[in-house]
C-alpha cells in the first residue's frame, strides 16, 4: 500500500542534516582534530604525562563543579524570570533587559564582580557565570512556558494540589524539555567560560579552558594543551550524553496554547514567583546601571571619544565604526546560524518522528552542541593549521569571524527551536495533511507559525550572543573590522583616563545596540505571525 507517509522522509531529513553537519565538520571537527593531532606530533608521551598528572584531574573536577554550580544558580534565578516572561502581562521590557548581560565583555563584568567581591574566588566565578546565563534559562524556559496549557495546572489545583505542588507536579514536568536544553547550554557556556574565570580565579582557580589558554599562549606547551583539549572534549561529550539520556522521551507532545490565553495578572502565591522574578531582574540590572553611571564619570567625554579612535589613537577604528562592524558581523552570523539551525532542527524533528534509531538522532543533536563546549583557543589555532587547505585561504579572511560566531549561535537556535517543534502534536500536522497540505505546506502552515515565536526569539538571542562574542572574534578579527567587544577589551588594556571612559561609553553603546535590536524583534513578534 501507500509508501508515502506523513511529512518529510528520513532520507530528505538526512540530506537536511548534512548541511549543518558538513559545516561543523569543516569549521569545527577538522580544526580541533588537527590541533590535537599536532599535540601528539612528538609522540604520545607528552600527552600521556599530562593525563597522568593528578593536577589535570583536579582541573577537570573544578571545571565541572564550577560549571554545575553556575548552572544551578542560573536555573534557580532564571525560573522566576521565565515565569514573568511567560505568564505576567507587560514583560516585554524584562525580556529585553535580561538579554543585556550577554553582550557585556567578560573583562568588564569580571572587573565589576571583582569590585563587588574583592577576594574573587569560587563564589564570584559562579555568580558572574550565572549573571551572564540567567537570560538563557529565562528565555528558553519562558518561551515554552508561555504555551503550556494553564488548565492542566488548574486541574491539579482542583485535585487539591497547592500552587507549589501544582507547579512541581504539572508545570515543571511540562517545562522539562526547555529546562534541559537551557541547562545544557548554560553548562557548556560555564564550562568554557574564560575571561571571567581568568580574572576572578587568577592562577589559583583554574579551569580546563583557562589552562588550555595558558599552556598554549603563555607556555607554548602544545602537547599539554592538546591533552587538555582532548580531556575537555571528552568531558563535554560525556556531559552531553548524560544530558541526552536524561532528556530522552521527555520532549512529549504538549497541549500548546496561544500566549494571550495564558497571560494574566498573578494571583495569590504567584505574586511570590513574580516578586522573585523582579528581584532577579533588579540584581541583573544593578551592575548594568553601574556601568552606565561609570561611563558618565568624566561627563560625556567618553561618548564624545566614541567618534574617534581613543587616547592617542589606541584603536584603528572609531567606536562608531566598531559598532557598525559589530552589527554587520552579527547579522551575517545570525543569518547563517538560522539557516543551519533551522535545517538541523527540521532534520532532527523529522528523524525523531521516523523509525530511525533514537541513538542516531541523539548523536546528531549532541554533535551540534559540541562547539559550545570546546575552547575558542583550540578552534582558533585549529583554523590556522587547516583552513589554508581550502581554496581562498580563509585563515586571513574577514568571513571567518561570522563563520566562527555562527558555530556558537547555531546550537542556541537548535536548542530554542527543538523543544517547541517536538512539542507540536503530530496529529495537528496530520490534520493539516488530510486537509490537503503537502509536507512543505504543513511546515509552513503548522510548524512555522507555532514555532515562529521561538524562531524569532532564538534569532534575537543568537544575534545578541554574536554581538557579544569575544573569544573567537578577538582571535580572528582584523583590526580594521574590530567589533565593539574587541574594541572595549583593547581600551581597557590601555592606560589613560580617556581610554577608560571610552571603554565604558562603548559598553553602554553596545548595550544600547542590543536593546534596540531586541526591541525591534519584540515588535516583529507582535505584528507578524507571532500572535502565538
Residues between 380 and 439 with contacts to another protein, criterion CB under 8 A: 381, 384-385, 388, 390-397, 399, 402-403, 406, 425, 427-428, 430-439
Residues 294-323 that bind another protein (CB under 8 A): 297-298, 311-314, 316
Among 33, 60, 123, 529, contact with another protein (rule: CB under 8 A): 529
- What x/- string results for residues 87 through 126 when contact with another protein is judged by CB under 8 A? --------------------x--xx--xx-----------
Chosen residue from 17, 186, 361, 446 binding another protein by CB under 8 A: 446
Interface size with another protein, residues (CB under 8 A) = 101
Which residue from 445, 391, 390, 458 is spatially nearest to 418, judged by alpha carbons? 458
The beta strand positions in 78-217, using DSSP E, are none
Q: Which of 89, 173, 358, 479 is the binder for another protein (CB under 8 A)?
A: 479
Q: What is the CA radius of gyration of the chain?
A: 23
Cβ proximity to another protein, 182 vs 460, nearer residue: 460
If one asks whether residue 189 binds another protein (CB under 8 A), the answer comes out as no
**524 contributes a contact to another protein by CB under 8 A:** no
Task: Report in angstroms how near the CB of residue 427 gets to another protein at its nearest.
Answer: 5
Angle between helix axes 10-24 and 400-423 (nearest 10 degrees) is 150
525 belongs to the binding site for another protein (CB under 8 A): no
Task: Kindly list the distances between the CA atom of residue 390 and the CA atoms of 26, 164, 227, 361, 395, in Å, as whole numbers in the listed order.
Answer: 10, 57, 27, 30, 9
Instruction: Please tell me whether residue 163 binds another protein under the rule CB under 8 A.
Output: no
Q: Looking at the chain, how many residues does it have?
A: 532
Measured from the CB atom, the residue of 415 and 429 that comes closer to another protein is 429
How many other CB atoms sit within 10 Å of the CB of residue 115? 10
Contact flag: residue 158 with another protein (CB under 8 A): no
Compute the least distance from the CB of residue 276 to another protein, in Å: 28
Q: Which three cell numbers stand for residue 380?
A: 582558533
Measured from the CB of residue 468, what is the shortest distance to another protein in angstroms? 18
- Choose the binding region for another protein from 75-83, 192-200, 227-235, 413-421 (rule: CB under 8 A): 192-200
Is position 201 an interface residue for another protein (rule: CB under 8 A)?
A: yes
Site residues for another protein, 459-478, by CB under 8 A, read 474-476, 478
Among positive and negative, which fits the CA dihedral 430, 436, 442, 448?
negative
- Nearest distance, CB of residue 199 and another protein, angstroms: 5
Specify burial of residue 366 (Cβ count, 10 A radius: 0-12, 13-18, 19+): middle
Decide: 413 and 337 in contact? Cβ < 8 Å: yes
Residue 256 pairs in a beta bridge with 148
Q: Distance between CA atoms of 501 and 494, rounded to whole angstroms?
A: 11
SS3 content of the chain, % helix, strand, coil (to 5): 80, 0, 20
User: Which range binds another protein by CB under 8 A, 169-177, 184-192, 213-221, 456-464?
Assistant: 213-221
Helix (H, G, I), strand (E, B) or coil at 256: strand
What is the smallest separation between the CB atom of 272 and another protein, expressed in angstroms?
A: 27
Is residue 382 within 8 Å of residue 34, measured between CB atoms?
yes
3-state secondary structure 27-69: HHHHHHHHHHHHHCCCCCHHHHHHHHCHHHHHHHHHHHHHHHH
Residue placing its CB nearer to another protein in the complex, 277 or 402:
402
- 269 to 288, contacts with another protein by CB under 8 A? none
**Under rule CB under 8 A, residue 526 binds another protein:** no
Amino acid at each position: 500500500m501507500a509508501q508515502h507517509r506523513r511529512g518529510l522522509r528520513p532520507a530528505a531529513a538526512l540530506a537536511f542534516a548534512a548541511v549543518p553537519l558538513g559545516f561543523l565538520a569543516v569549521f569545527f571537527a577538522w580544526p580541533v582534530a588537527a590541533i590535537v593531532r599536532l599535540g601528539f606530533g612528538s609522540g604520545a608521551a607528552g600527552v600521556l604525562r599530562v593525563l597522568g598528572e593528578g593536577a589535570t584531574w583536579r582541573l577537570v573536577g573544578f571545571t565541572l563543579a564550577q560549571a554545575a554550580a553556575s548552572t544551578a544558580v542560573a536555573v534557580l534565578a532564571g525560573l522566576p524570570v521565565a515565569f514573568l516572561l511567560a505568564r505576567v502581562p507587560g514583560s516585554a521590557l524584562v525580556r529585553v533587559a535580561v538579554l543585556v548581560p550577554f553582550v557585556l565583555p567578560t573583562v568588564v563584568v569580571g572587573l565589576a564582580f571583582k569590585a563587588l567581591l574583592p577576594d574573587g574566588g569560587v563564589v564570584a566565578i559562579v555568580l558572574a557565570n550565572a549573571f551572564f546565563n540567567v537570560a538563557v534559562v529565562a528565555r528558553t524556559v519562558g518561551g515554552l512556558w508561555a504555551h503550556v496549557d494553564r488548565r492542566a495546572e488548574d486541574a491539579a489545583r482542583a485535585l487539591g494540589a497547592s500552587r507549589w505542588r501544582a507547579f512541581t507536579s504539572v508545570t515543571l514536568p511540562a517545562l522539562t524539555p526547555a529546562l534541559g536544553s537551557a541547562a545544557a547550554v548554560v553548562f557548556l557556556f560555564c564550562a568554557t567560560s574564560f575571561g571571567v574565570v581568568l580574572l576572578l580565579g587568577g592562577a589559583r582557580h583554574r579551569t580546563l579552558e583557562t589552562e588550555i589558554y595558558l599552556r598554549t599562549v603563555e607556555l607554548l606547551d602544545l602537547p599539554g594543551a592538546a591533552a587538555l583539549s582532548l580531556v575537555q572534549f571528552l568531558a563535554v561529550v560525556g556531559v552531553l550524553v548524560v544530558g541526552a539520556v536524561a532528556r530522552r522521551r521527555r520532549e512529549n507532545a504538549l497541549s500548546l496554547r496561544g500566549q494571550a490565553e495564558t497571560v494574566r495578572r498573578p494571583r495569590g502565591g504567584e505574586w511570590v514567583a513574580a516578586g522573585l522574578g523582579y528581584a532577579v531582574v533588579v540584581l541583573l540590572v544593578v551592575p548594568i546601571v553601574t556601568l552606565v553611571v561609570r561611563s558618565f564619570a568624566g561627563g560625556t567625554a567618553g561618548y564624545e571619544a566614541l567618534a574617534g579612535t581613543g587616547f592617542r589613537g589606541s584603536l584603528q577604528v572609531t567606536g562608531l565604526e566598531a559598532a557598525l562592524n559589530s552589527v554587520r558581523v552579527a547579522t551575517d552570523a545570525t543569518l547563517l546560524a538560522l539557516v543551519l539551525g533551522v535545517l538541523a532542527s527540521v532534520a532532527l524533528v523529522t528523524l525523531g518522528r521516523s523509525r530511525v534509531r533514537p541513538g542516531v538522532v541523539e548523536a546528531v543533536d549532541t554533535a551540534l552542541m559540541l562547539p559550545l563546549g570546546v575552547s575558542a583557543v583550540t578552534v582558533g589555532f585549529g583554523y590556522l593549521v587547516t583552513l589554508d587547505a581550502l581554496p581562498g585561504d580563509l585563515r586571513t579572511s574577514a568571513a571567518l569571524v561570522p563563520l566562527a560566531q555562527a558555530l556558537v549561535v547555531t546550537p542556541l537556535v537548535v536548542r530554542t527551536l527543538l523543544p517547541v517543534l517536538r512539542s507540536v502534536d503530530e496529529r495537528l500536522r496530520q490534520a493539516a495533511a488530510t486537509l490537503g497540505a503537502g509536507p512543505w505546506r504543513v511546515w509552513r502552515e503548522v510548524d512555522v507559525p507555532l514555532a515562529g515565536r521561538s524562531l524569532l526569539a532564538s534569532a534575537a538571542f543568537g544575534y545578541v550572543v554574536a554581538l557579544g562574542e569575544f573569544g573567537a572574534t578577538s582571535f580572528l578579527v582584523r583590526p580594521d573590522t574590530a567589533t565593539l567587544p574587541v574594541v572595549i577589551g583593547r581600551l581597557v588594556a590601555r592606560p589613560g583616563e580617556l581610554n577608560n571612559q571610552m571603554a565604558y561609553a562603548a559598553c553602554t553603546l553596545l548595550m544600547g545596540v542590543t536593546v534596540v535590536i531586541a526591541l525591534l524583534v519584540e515588535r516583529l513578534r507582535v505584528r507578524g505571525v507571532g500572535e502565538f
